[in-house]
Amino acid sequence: MNIAIVTGASSGLGAEIVRQLAEGAFGPLDQIWAVSRRAEKTGPLVRPFALDLTDPASFDVLEEALDKTPDARVALLVNNAGFGTFGDFAAMPPEDNANMVRLLMLAPVELTYRALPHMSAGSRILNVSSVAAFMPQPGLATYSAAKRFVLDLSRALDAELGPVGIHVTALCPKFMRTGFLDHAGADDLAARMAGLTGFEDVRRVARLGLRATRAGRALCIPSADMRAFYAAAKLLPYPLVLNLERALMRP
């Protein structure tokens, strides 16, 4: 049985990925396991899991479900669940930073461990990172650091697993018109950051991310301007890039 597992599947990019998978964007699948806090069945292939991935018990639930599914083969794991909160680190509620670490860093690690025994040559992992991973982001410190972890983990795992035919893709989109900004707080800073980078289309990001994943590419940056930013962030000194970003974001 070929299974795709998608976290953060109830809205935004996750819901769009589930929709495109159901339409055959990754080839034939027997089931799509849609993991979210408010899971609901959205099609004949979809098996919903209502789980909070900041709770370690949720990983045991998914592992047990895989173990109990006859001939379960994880064709695709999409680690997409996440949230971000804008603002100075010291002013943020400690639970926000802790839950970002759990959801953005620990959950992909745990789910990859649980899924790997059910993967084989041709299986794929798509980890949703962000353009925020390209350099440290004051005002988004924990989120950008966590997304950098996802980016680096993905590229290292792709190098490790590639020889057995399993590839890992890091997807790095910029802001999309989803519920992310509605819940991020610090509306002025969020609006200026979104105004600086512009918005990406969720359907396009999902399509390009799945295409890169099928092809076994280690990195997918959907927008051309962010590919240029990625190169600049690697070549130029961090203080210079940070000062330029701050100048561009000034009201």
Domain boundaries along the sequence of the chain: 2-249
Instruction: Kindly report, residue by residue over 113-135, the tens digit of the pLDDT.
Output: 999 999 999 999 999 999 999 98
pLDDT, position 66: 98
Instruction: Kindly report, residue by residue over 190-215, the tens digit of the pLDDT.
Output: 566 666 667 789 999 999 999 999 99
Measured CA to CA, the distance from residue 244 to residue 251 in angstroms comes to 14
Q: Report, as ranges of residue numbers, the positions in the chain whose pLDDT lies below 50.
A: none
Measured CA to CA, the distance from residue 148 to residue 133 in angstroms comes to 4
pTM above 0.95, yes or no: no
Measured CA to CA, the distance from residue 169 to residue 223 in angstroms comes to 16
Length of the chain equals 251
Give the CA distances from residue 106 to residues 115, 133, 165, in Å, rounded to whole numbers and listed in that order: 14, 16, 24
Strands 167-171, 219-220: pairing kind: parallel
pLDDT, position 87: 84
What three-state secondary structure class fits 208? helix
pLDDT, position 180: 61
Measured CA to CA, the distance from residue 100 to residue 103 in angstroms comes to 5
Measured CA to CA, the distance from residue 30 to residue 93 in angstroms comes to 42
What the block records as the tokens of 12 is 């935004």
pLDDT, position 26: 96
Pick the CATH number of 2-249 from 3.40.640.10, 3.30.565.10, 3.40.50.2300, 3.40.50.720: 3.40.50.720
Give the CA distances from residue 107 to residues 8, 59, 155, in Å, rounded to whole numbers and listed in that order: 11, 8, 17
Is residue 64 classed exposed, middle or buried when 0-12, 13-18 and 19+ CB atoms within 10 A define those classes?
Answer: exposed
pLDDT, position 81: 94
pLDDT, position 85: 82
pLDDT, position 54: 95
